[in-house]
Every structure is written in C-alpha cells, then in structure tokens.
C-alpha cells in the first residue's frame, strides 16, 4: 500500500477510510466548536459562525458518505481499537474533571478553554494511532493558539467560548477543507470511493 502522492508532502494517512473519516469528523467537530462560540459572540460574528457551521456539516455529510463506502477497507486502527478507546476515555475524564473543578471554583467561564486544551492535546497520541502526522500538527496549532488567547481571556470577563470556539472551529474546518481537497485529488469524489 502506498501513501498518497500529494498526501506524502502533508504526511496524511495512507488509509482511504481513515482519511475520509478524519475529514468528516473534523467537519462535524468544527460545527460543534462554532456552535459553542455562539454562546456569547459579538453580534457581527453570529452569522459568520452560522455559515462556518454549515460548511462543517457539509464536509461531514459528504465525507461521511465516503467513510461508509470505504468502511470495509483497512484502517490504521486495525488491531488497536482498544488503545483508541483508552485515549478517548482518558480525554473525556480529564475534560469532565477539569470542568467540574472550574465550576466548583466559580470559574465556569474557563470550561471551553479547558476542553479545547484537552482536545488539542489528544491529537498528539491520536496522530500516532492513526499514523497521520498532520493530525499532530492540528493539535500543535490549536495548542499555540489557545496559549496565545490566555492573556486576552484573563483581561475579559466573557465566557472563554467567545474566542475559543471560533479558534478551534477555524483550525478544524481549515484542516478538513485542505484534507478534503487532497482526498478528491487522490481518490476522487467522496461518493465514488
């Protein structure tokens, strides 16, 4: 099995199913983050967050089809699904415990930032499990962006979701769009896989 010729430069996965699923999942998760960003956005941002959410859902739908059509294909997770489950379990517990501590300490506005830090961090081991270095790059970009947001968030009293949601959404949607273009260039239209 050979790695995508275009994807080689970006170090994308060699598995069509994993590639399609990642585009679909990142599209869906971009919608989730744009949605969370609508908790308390500045007025002019609301329609932009809505449009970005629709774009994320469109990618999720199109590449959800590609995932379904290629489901019988190989995956980097073959034989390692239990480690994926452990990773997701640890992530959910860490996010939940952190949010509980923030809520109990009266700092509930920091929950979105905390969940984003956990999500960005989990992309590093996920990249190893999926044999896809580009996913680690997403986590690094998100981690840097979240660190750069801290001073602004400290100066403000608004919920952190105002800024964290759009930042996470933009990174995920941008990655999904570039990855989708590479998928189409290498494998064809998502519904013809």
Specify whether the CB–CB gap between 74 and 15 falls below 8 A: yes
Write down the domain spans for the chain: 6-192
pLDDT tens track of the chain, all 193 residues? 344 444 444 557 888 899 999 999 999 999 999 999 999 898 889 999 999 999 999 999 999 999 999 899 899 999 999 999 999 999 999 999 999 999 999 999 999 999 999 999 999 999 999 989 899 999 999 999 999 999 999 999 889 999 999 999 999 999 999 999 999 988 878 777 6
Alpha carbons 59 and 163: distance in angstroms, whole number: 23
Alpha carbons 168 and 29: distance in angstroms, whole number: 9
- pTM equals 0.90
């Amino acid at each position: 099995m050979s790695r995508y010729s275009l994807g080689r430069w970006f170090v994308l996965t060699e598995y069509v199913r994993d590639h399609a699923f990642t585009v679909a999942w990142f599209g869906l998760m971009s919608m989730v983050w744009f949605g969370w960003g609508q908790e308390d956005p500045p007025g002019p941002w609301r329609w932009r967050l809505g449009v970005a959410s629709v774009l994320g859902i469109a990618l999720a739908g199109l590449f959800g089809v590609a995932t379904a059509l290629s489901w019988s294909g190989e995956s980097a997770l073959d034989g390692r699904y239990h480690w994926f489950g452990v990773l997701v379990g640890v992530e959910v517990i860490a996010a939940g415990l952190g949010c509980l501590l923030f809520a109990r300490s009266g700092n509930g506005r920091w929950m979105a930032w905390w969940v984003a830090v956990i999500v960005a961090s989990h992309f590093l081991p996920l990249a190893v499990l999926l044999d896809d270095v580009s996913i680690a790059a997403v986590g690094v970009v998100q981690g840097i962006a979240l660190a750069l947001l801290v001073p602004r968030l400290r100066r403000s009293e608004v919920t952190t979701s105002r800024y964290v949601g759009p930042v996470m959404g933009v990174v995920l949607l941008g990655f999904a769009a570039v990855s989708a273009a590479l998928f189409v260039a290498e494998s064809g239209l998502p519904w013809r896989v």
